[in-house]
Amino acid sequence: MATSLEKWVEKQAELTKPDKIYWCDGSEKEARKLIEIGINEEKINGNPIFSKLNQDNWPNAYYHRSHPTDVARTEHLTFVCHPDKETAGPNNNWMDPNEAKAKLTKLSDGCMRGRTMYVLPYTMGHPDSPYSKTCIQLTDVSYVAVSMRIMTRMGKKVIDKIGNSENFVKGLHSVGDFDQNKRFVMHFPQENFVWSIGSGYGGNALLGKKCFSLRIASYQGKKEGWLAEHMIIIGIEDPQGKITYVAAALPSACGKTNLALMQPSLPGYKIWVLGDDIAWLNIGEDGRLWAINPETGFFGVAPGTSMKTNPNMIRTLKAGTFFPTLFTNTAVDTDKIEPWWEGLDGEIPKNLTDWQGNKWDPVSGTKAAHPNSRFTVSITQSPTISKEYNNPKGVPISAIIFGGKRSTTVPLICESFNWQHGVFSGASMGSETTAAATSKVGVLRRDPMAMLPFCGYNMADYFKHWLDMGKRIKNPPSIFFVNWFRTDDKGKFIWPGFGENIRVLKWLIDRINKKISAKETPIGLVPNLSDLNLEGLNIDKNNLEKLFEVDSQKWQEETEDTKTFLEQFGDRMPKEIWNELSALKKRL
Ligand code: GTP
Ligand code: SPV
Ligand code: MN
């Protein structure tokens, strides 16, 4: 007798009509075979899916060039299909689930013809964790299969665990013919089902990542009393050896991976990484907030990564274990067969192929690597992986950080007065858009808790859920707000960032340990300059003042923008959020 899982796979195959069905076991041998298939058999736009990079300098590394239109998340083609539009909220594109299925059924008919359907069994979270989830993704491209093996815990055991139950998260993915007009990422939260067609790009195609672990999981969390967040998880070790666990949310391409892998500039401090993109937050038996990372890898932005900015990531990328390392849409040094991107250490190589496969001309003014070119690498290769990484319970969180990319207005760091004020600050957060999504770059938009593209239900209900969580947590974590991206008159970043960000984290730890006081402003508590270690930094006095300035006029404009954003949600918006906005206006 076929199991429910086998029947489901069979049914999807009847629609998509692959030549072959291949059940992955998650082994190293299999990954090697899939890469071989990607090098020799499967193609995108006539090009091989993978090519081998210089194994001496980049052990076990492979290059992948995407379809030229398929380089980032496509938020306008992403839908959350609750039965009613209100549950999806104004923060999501919505389609009636039946209509969405009819549309995708049409587009998927025979979409895997001539290809192999890979069946990927995986868990998000450690299999022994009470918080982990069992999942199956179907895909028709080796790149996605290999990526999922890096990013999730993939293996045959998952199939045994599912047995004959229906209790697994389902993902159906096909690259189709990469036609943007036939590209959709559709979520069916009521059925724990994601259906994606037309894209091979990370957030659109690795369905365990944003689609399940944020959009669907955030909705599960709302129903079950936990949170799925766009957050890193780190342990900050002080010179005395005490480790404080912190979770931090910043929008896409705004510094999470760099913060998570940071090599601190202050002596005696260490940052241990547990996650760089997604955190699941549950209330533990002790009443505290505990965090696990459902993922097992980094799908990180390449440009800007160097021994100077992020040495621990360069070490991770070069570690070369039994997990392959993938580079997608970077440039390639054609002499050395090495990946290259803007910001990498050393001289610009003489002969570069750009991300589209053309010879790159340095005076052309174009970027050789796509601004959203990325690496995919196992977290287990990181020299700074936390010893708690595999703890099924996760780690207890002492502080939550929200942040954004703001050239003006928002200070370097600010502490919220309390949980409710912190939730309001997160809810009103704005950030300048980046190349991680296909829309215009550098436009200021509200991106509450860095979750605007990822909250799988009405954000008014999401804020309510955050407020309710605070009431259930014994001693809720302190909430902070950071901004590394404030610029001077010439448009240059004032704050040096990267490893120097430890100075800001040190202040945060001193605050939660009640070692120091802080200066009260209308928006929250900012550092007294004497409490911030700025030794050895060369920031002129004017700029330093700018970093901590709270300009009443600019913040009044900020509250207007926030008001416009919140009004979209009508009566559903919790009154606590409106109360906080009024209180802020009064203080200003
Ligand atoms: P996603 O993977 O899209 O969720 O992004 P992320 O938040 O992990 O962003 P990431 O750390 O990859 O940073 C994106 C860009 O911001 C990179 O080009 C970094 O070099 C740059 N960046 C990161 N941290 C800092 C910082 O402290 N200061 C400055 N100036 N730039 C930074
Ligand atoms: C992001 O865009 O926030 C990412 C990359 O982390 S993706 O997985 O593609 O969403
Ligand atoms: Mn992300």
The protein residue with its alpha carbon nearest to ligand 2, atom 7, reads 203
Alpha carbon 73 to its chain centroid, in Å, reads 11
- Does the pLDDT of residue 257 top 90, yes or no? yes
* Digit-coded pLDDT (tens) for 49-79: 999 999 999 999 999 999 999 999 999 999 9
Cα 382 to Cα 457: distance, rounded to the nearest angstrom: 34
pLDDT, residue 434, reads 95
Atom of ligand 2 nearest to the CA of 206: 8
Confidence category of residue 82, pLDDT binned at 50, 70, 90:
very high
CA 241 to ligand 3 center in whole angstroms: 30
CA 380 to ligand 3 center in whole angstroms: 19
CA 153 to ligand 2 center in whole angstroms: 19
* Digit-coded pLDDT (tens) for 541-586: 999 999 999 999 999 999 999 999 999 999 999 999 999 999 999 9
How much is the average pLDDT of 379-396?
A: 98
What is the greatest pairwise CA distance in the chain? 75
- End-to-end, the C-alpha distance of the chain in Å comes to 69
In percent, the amount of the chain with pLDDT more than 90 equals 98
The more confidently predicted of residues 477 and 46 is 477
Structure tokens at 586: 């009064």
The protein residue with its alpha carbon nearest to ligand 2, atom 9, reads 203
Categorise residue 541: left if φ over 0, alpha if ψ from -120 to 50, beta otherwise: alpha
Alpha-carbon dihedral angle through residues 30, 169, 200, 247, given to the nearest 10 degrees? -100
Confidence category of residue 372, pLDDT binned at 50, 70, 90:
very high
In percent, the amount of the chain with pLDDT more than 70 equals 100
pLDDT, residue 83, reads 98
CATH superfamily of 4-44+73-225: Phosphoenolpyruvate Carboxykinase, domain 1 (3.40.449.10)
* Adjacent-strand bridge partners of 174: 197
The verdict on whether 135 is a catalytic residue reads: no
Q: Where are the domains of the chain?
A: 4-44+73-225, 229-296+388-587, 298-381
Cα 179 to Cα 195: distance, rounded to the nearest angstrom: 16
Query: Which residue in 24, 254, 414, 455 is the catalytic one?
Result: 254
* Digit-coded pLDDT (tens) for 275-315: 999 999 999 999 999 999 999 999 999 999 999 999 999 99
Confidence category of residue 433, pLDDT binned at 50, 70, 90:
very high
pLDDT, residue 75, reads 96
* Digit-coded pLDDT (tens) for 120-165: 999 999 999 999 999 999 999 999 999 999 999 999 999 999 999 9
CA torsion sign, 474 to 478 to 479 to 485? negative
CA 272 to ligand 1 center in whole angstroms: 18
| Bridge-based pairing state of the strands 169-174 and 133-139 | parallel
Does ligand 1 have an atom closer than 6 angstroms to the CB of 493?
Answer: yes
CATH-assigned architecture of domain 298-381:
Beta Complex (2.170)
Q: Could you tell me if 192 and 134 are in contact, meaning their C-beta atoms sit under 8 angstroms apart? A: no
Cα 354 to Cα 370: distance, rounded to the nearest angstrom: 8
How much is the average pLDDT of 341-350?
A: 97
Length of the chain: 588
Does ligand 1 have an atom closer than 6 angstroms to the CB of 300?
Answer: yes
Q: How does DSSP assign 450-498, residue by residue?
A: G-TTT--S-HHHHHHHHHHHHHHSSSPPEEEEE-S--B-TTS-BSS--G
The protein residue with its alpha carbon nearest to ligand 1, atom 18, reads 304
Does ligand 1 have an atom closer than 6 angstroms to the CB of 447?
Answer: no
Can you tell me which residue has the tokens 């939260």?
A: 189
Q: How many CB atoms sit inside 10 A of residue 533's CB?
A: 15
Cα 281 to Cα 277: distance, rounded to the nearest angstrom: 13
Q: Which protein residues touch ligand 2 with a CB less than 6 Å away? A: 73, 202-203, 209-210, 252, 277, 299, 436
* Adjacent-strand bridge partners of 119: 23, 138
pLDDT, residue 1, reads 83
| Bridge-based pairing state of the strands 297-301 and 243-249 | unpaired
Does ligand 1 have an atom closer than 6 angstroms to the CB of 257?
Answer: yes
pLDDT, residue 441, reads 95
| Ligand 2 probe mutation, 71, 73, 230, 379, most atoms within 8 A of CB | 73
| Ligand 2 probe mutation, 152, 299, 431, most atoms within 8 A of CB | 299
CA 174 to ligand 1 center in whole angstroms: 30
Cα 5 to Cα 286: distance, rounded to the nearest angstrom: 37
Atom of ligand 1 nearest to the CA of 436: 3
Starting from the CA of residue 230, give the closest ligand.
3
How much is the average pLDDT of 92-101?
A: 98
Predicted TM-score (pTM) of the model is 0.98
pLDDT, residue 476, reads 97
Cα 407 to Cα 254: distance, rounded to the nearest angstrom: 12
CA 481 to ligand 2 center in whole angstroms: 21
**Same fold: 4-44+73-225 with 298-381:** no
CA 66 to ligand 3 center in whole angstroms: 19
Q: How much is the mean pLDDT over the chain? A: 97
Alpha carbon 201 to its chain centroid, in Å, reads 13
Q: How many CB atoms sit inside 10 A of residue 181's CB?
A: 7
Structure tokens at 104: 């995708």
Burial class from Cβ neighbours inside 10 Å (0-12, 13-18, 19+) for residue 582 reads: exposed
Does ligand 1 have an atom closer than 6 angstroms to the CB of 301?
Answer: yes
Phi/psi at 249 (nearest 5 deg)? -110, 120
- Does the pLDDT of residue 322 top 90, yes or no? no
Confidence category of residue 320, pLDDT binned at 50, 70, 90:
confident
The protein residue with its alpha carbon nearest to ligand 1, atom 28, reads 497
Q: Give CATH for domain 229-296+388-587.
A: 3.90.228.20
Does ligand 1 have an atom closer than 6 angstroms to the CB of 558?
Answer: no
Q: Could you tell me if 133 and 125 are in contact, meaning their C-beta atoms sit under 8 angstroms apart? A: yes
Q: How does DSSP assign 337-377, residue by residue?
A: TEEE-TT-SSPPPSSEE-TTSSBP-GGG---SS-TT-EEEE
pLDDT, residue 125, reads 98
- Does the pLDDT of residue 473 top 90, yes or no? yes
